[in-house]
């Protein structure tokens, strides 16, 4: 395979399925977000969850240009991502898809589920007639950077953030 060509994963081969996140998934989703060194510093998983998580979930659920999606294997929630569809004036007014909050449960990694989930999201962007899919990942996540490059993503821009 050409190293610049995106890796293709057949979701049927992994047995994973995708669906919109439900309110009953929220605690497990926050747990996944908190289950790494970076997430552990910024997330507050506990019982009860801070109200901000429920408010954000409802805002995402009500917005037709936002989808919070979970990956399910058997009866187990094994992954999540948020995909946001953004209109732009560039590219002749075409839309972009932004992928954020990608997580695979720690006990389900290295089984092709992440590639299947990203493949699903890219197809979803195609279905919405997006001109591109973009995402960011923390530079400290070296494995994630290699993963996205293997899937065909290119570090074409220098991203910057200002925390408020």
Residue 35 lies in a domain: yes
Residue 92 lies in a domain: yes
Residue 99 lies in a domain: yes
* Count of domains forming the chain: 1
Structural domain span for residue 128: 11-150
pLDDT at position 88 is: 94
Residue 90 lies in a domain: yes
pLDDT per residue rounded down to tens, the chain (164 residues): 333 333 344 455 578 999 999 999 999 999 999 998 888 888 988 889 999 999 999 999 999 999 999 999 998 999 999 999 999 999 999 999 999 999 999 899 889 999 999 999 999 999 999 999 999 888 888 999 999 999 999 998 888 888 89
- Helix 142-150 × helix 113-127 angle, to 10°: 60
Residue 155 lies in a domain: no
Phi, psi of 34 (to 5 degrees): -85, -10
pLDDT at position 85 is: 98
For the chain, the first-to-last Cα distance in angstroms comes to: 43
CATH label of the domain that carries residue 124: 3.40.630.30
pLDDT at position 11 is: 52
Residue 163 lies in a domain: no
Residue 45 lies in a domain: yes
Entry pTM: 0.87
């Amino acid at each position: 395979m050409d190293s610049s060509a995106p890796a293709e994963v057949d979701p049927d081969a992994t047995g994973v399925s995708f669906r919109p996140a439900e309110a009953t998934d929220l605690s497990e989703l926050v747990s996944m977000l908190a289950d790494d060194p970076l997430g552990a510093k910024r997330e507050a998983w506990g019982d009860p969850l801070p109200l901000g998580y429920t408010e954000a979930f409802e805002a995402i659920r009500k917005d037709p240009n936002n989808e919070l999606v979970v990956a399910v294997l058997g009866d187990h929630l094994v992954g999540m991502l948020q995909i946001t569809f953004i209109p732009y004036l560039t590219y002749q007014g075409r839309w972009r898809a932004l992928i954020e909050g990608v997580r695979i449960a720690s006990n389900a990694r290295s089984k092709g589920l992440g590639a299947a989930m990203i493949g699903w999201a890219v197809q979803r962007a195609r279905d919405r007639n997006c001109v591109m899919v973009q995402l960011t990942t923390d530079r400290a996540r070296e494995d994630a950077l290699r993963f996205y490059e293997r899937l065909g993503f290119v570090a074409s821009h220098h991203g910057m953030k200002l925390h408020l």
